[in-house]
């Protein structure tokens, strides 16, 4: 049986041979026509207009036949850029990071050209190339290059889409391939096509968590921290000691590795600080608070010198599988290696450079830059800025918005129906009816942003709850009067005194016991005893990386003597 590939090859050879002879015949005919015209001119010694017109018509017809039957197609291609290391340009088309492709695509009989991009796994990526229009401007509607190009712009690679489509392959390789294919009007293709390889500069630079709350959509520079890694979770406020967690790692292009990184906390009352563009520099302002700065450089420990590359290898901050702690200082750790030699186990240990977690105290470190002077601690709206600089001097950034609260709750009981601590309170009025009394005091947490005022929950107004309980002297437990999630006094009134709860004193009467309370909390008629009123207040702030919020007032007590009887007549 004949080999199909061999048959096609023979057919192609016969076709090419036939095309060559047809082209030769057409050229001979054209020469004969020209010779005839010259002969006529020499014989008559004058230019015959009719003969000239016939000559031009015949030559045009022959040229048309040559082009129509596609006898002559000579194509050229060349790729000049992208270079070996690609970063892309965010300023060509808004919302896209594009890498220019420069080179040649032209020739006799040129029709069009295609650019093909393959990821490090050799997979052909779709819709990642943007071609130029007739004026050389990007035209996202084009699916091929329709104009010959000589040493100019062939198109642009949508690096954002290319990298996203390459996906997890980038963890092992960042080398992409671009192919330029040039086609003639006869459907033929320049062989071989032109190819170029380039590496993508990959940076893992992001803040994923501040304290324990999460930046769920950490790519969004306006994302605020949430209590859980869930977009439906409540926004979070944080305080006390905390770490910043995320990634600070650069790889891809040869020679580009992390050199240093810095984290600043920036007072940002309107959350308007703009994330700096990559490859640009920033100048820290006087109110920026540096919370961490790490340089990767050679270190000598116990007489052993570790190069900067060794230090990087031992301390990779790539955020995998969990966000790495970025608030660090340099220290050491012990690494041990065990091997079997001649069936004998031998182990050796060395101390190597190690990044040690170092939390910063937001209360003291941010205190000079609090949003409002009336606050007691480092409280306000802050933007955290992470800057990573590589060994080539390139700079990368990420920001994270954070509501920081170091304000203590206000919890006080002022009195019960005007009765102060340790004074007598009667359960019955002068007419012998059980009284309902108001418990007066304060259960309050200051707004993080008092301007306006900003009553946004659960951020600026992150009050959680308060509870009022009572306990008879000697009783086993406490009895709840009220639990409320509204501060006293109510917003937007400033801190002051209000009504914490209304208390029906018949609750304490043993003979009726309307609430079914334990006997040790009750009074017989005419009996008296000391009771403690107890107030506790909480907010929602996650303090010292503990959840739920543990800004807690503690146990506030108010002792009072209660007499189960009628108050004396005036």
| DSSP string over 166-216 | HGGGGGT--EEEEEEEEEETTS-B-SSPEEEEEEE-EEEEEEEEESS-B-T
pLDDT-based confidence at residue 279 (cuts at 50, 70, 90): confident
% residues pLDDT > 70 (the chain): 85
Pairing of strands 258-267, 380-390: antiparallel
- Confidence label for 42 from pLDDT (cuts 50, 70 and 90): low
Answering whether pTM is above 0.75, one says yes
pLDDT band at 318 (very low <50, low <70, confident <90, very high): very high
Average pLDDT over residues 204-216: 96
Confidence class for position 284, pLDDT limits 50, 70, 90: very high
Q: Which among 18, 207, 189 is positioned nearest to 110, based on CA atoms?
A: 189
Checking if the pLDDT of 262 tops 70, the result is yes
Distance CA 63, CA 197 (A): 41
Q: What pLDDT is attached to residue 375?
A: 65
pLDDT of residue 17: 47
Mean pLDDT of the chain, nearest integer: 87
Q: What is the pLDDT of residue 373?
A: 64
pLDDT score recorded for residue 13: 43
Vertex 120 angle, CA 169 and 179, to 5°: 150
**Do residues 389 and 397 touch, judged by C-beta distance below 8 A?**
no
The residue with tokens 């000579």 is 74
Record the tokens describing residue 263, joined without a space.
Answer: 């984290």
395 DSSP β-pair partners: 389
Query: Which of helix, strand or coil describes residue 27?
Result: helix
- Residue 241 is predicted with a pLDDT of 94
- Predicted local confidence at residue 43, as pLDDT: 58
Q: Under a CB-based contact definition with an 8 Å cutoff, are residues 426 and 566 in contact? A: yes
**Full DSSP string of 29-41:** HHHHHHHHHHHHH
Indicate the pLDDT class of residue 172, thresholds 50, 70 and 90.
confident
Judged against a pLDDT cut of 70, whether residue 523 lies above it is answered with yes
Asked whether the predicted pLDDT for residue 174 surpasses 50, the reply is yes
Q: What are the DSSP calls for 302-354, one per residue?
A: TTEEE-HHHHHHHT-B---SSPEE-SEEEEEEEEEEEEEETTEEEEEEEEEEE
- For the cut 80, the answer to whether the pLDDT of residue 335 exceeds it is yes
Segment 44-49 shows an average pLDDT of 60
Residue 67: pLDDT band by 50, 70, 90 thresholds? Answer: low
Percentage of the chain with pLDDT > 90?
Answer: 64
Confidence of residue 6 (pLDDT cuts 50, 70, 90): very low
CA distances from 491 to 62, 445, 485 (A): 92, 10, 12
Q: Is the dihedral of CA 439, 445, 450, 456 positive or negative?
A: negative
Q: What is the mean pLDDT of residues 259-279?
A: 94
Contact 230, 341 (CB under 8 A): no
The pLDDT tens digits of the residues spanning 229-249 come to: 999 999 999 999 999 999 999
**What is the pLDDT at residue 5?**
46
């Amino acid at each position: 049986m004949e080999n199909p590939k061999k048959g096609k090859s023979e057919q192609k050879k016969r076709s090419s041979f036939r095309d060559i002879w047809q082209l030769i015949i057409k050229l001979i005919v054209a020469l004969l026509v020209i010779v005839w015209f010259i002969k006529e001119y020499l014989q008559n010694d004058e230019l015959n207009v009719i003969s000239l017109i016939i000559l031009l018509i015949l030559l045009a017809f022959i040229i048309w036949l040559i082009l129509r039957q596609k006898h002559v197609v000579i194509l050229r291609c060349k790729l000049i850029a992208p270079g070996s290391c690609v970063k892309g340009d965010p300023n060509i088309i808004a919302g896209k990071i594009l890498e220019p492709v420069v080179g040649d695509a032209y020739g006799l009989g040129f029709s069009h050209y295609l650019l093909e991009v393959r990821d490090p796994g050799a997979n052909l990526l779709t819709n990642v190339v943007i071609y130029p229009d007739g004026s050389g401007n990007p035209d996202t509607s084009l699916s091929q290059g329709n104009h010959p190009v000589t040493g100019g712009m062939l198109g642009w690679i949508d690096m954002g889409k290319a990298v996203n489509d390459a996906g997890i392959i980038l963890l092992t390789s960042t080398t992409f391939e671009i192919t330029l294919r040039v086609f003639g009007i006869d459907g033929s293709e320049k062989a071989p096509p032109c190819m170029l390889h380039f590496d993508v500069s990959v940076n893992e630079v992001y803040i994923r968590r501040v304290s324990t709350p999460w930046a769920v959509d950490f790519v969004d520079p306006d994302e605020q921290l949430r209590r859980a890694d869930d977009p439906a979770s409540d926004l979070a406020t944080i305080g006390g000691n905390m770490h910043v967690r995320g990634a600070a790692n650069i790889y891809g292009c040869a020679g580009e590795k992390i050199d240093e990184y810095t984290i600043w906390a920036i007072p940002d009352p309107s959350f308007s600080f703009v994330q700096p563009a990559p490859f640009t520099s920033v100048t820290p302002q006087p109110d920026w608070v540096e919370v961490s700065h790490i340089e990767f450089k050679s270190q000598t420990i116990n007489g052993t010198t570790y190069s900067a590359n060794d230090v990087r290898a031992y301390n990779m901050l790539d955020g995998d599988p969990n966000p790495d702690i970025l608030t660090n200082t340099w220290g050491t750790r012990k690494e041990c290696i065990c091997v079997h030699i001649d069936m004998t186990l031998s182990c050796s240990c060395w101390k190597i450079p190690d990044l040690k977690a170092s939390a910063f105290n937001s209360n003291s470190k941010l205190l000079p830059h609090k949003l409002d002077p009336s606050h007691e601690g480092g409280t306000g709206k802050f933007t955290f800025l992470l800057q990573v600089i590589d060994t080539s001097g390139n700079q990368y950034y990420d920001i994270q918005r954070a509501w920081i609260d170091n304000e203590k709750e206000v919890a006080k009981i002022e009195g019960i129906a005007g009765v102060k601590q340790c004074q007598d309170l009667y359960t019955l009025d002068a007419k012998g009816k059980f009284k309902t009394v108001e418990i007066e005091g304060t259960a309050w947490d200051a707004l993080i942003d008092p301007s306006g005022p900003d009553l946004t929950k659960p951020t600026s107004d992150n009050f959680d709850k308060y509870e009022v309980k009572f306990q008879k002297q000697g009783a086993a437990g406490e009895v709840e009067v009220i639990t409320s999630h509204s501060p006293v006094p109510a917003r937007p009134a400033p801190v002051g005194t209000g009504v914490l709860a209304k208390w029906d004193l018949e609750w304490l009467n043993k003979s009726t016991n309307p609430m079914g309370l334990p006997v040790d909390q009750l009074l017989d008629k005419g009996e008296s005893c000391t009771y403690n009123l107890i107030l506790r207040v909480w907010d929602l702030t996650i303090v010292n990386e503990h959840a739920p919020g543990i800004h807690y007032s503690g146990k506030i007590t108010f002792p009072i003597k209660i007499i189960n009887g009628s108050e004396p007549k005036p």
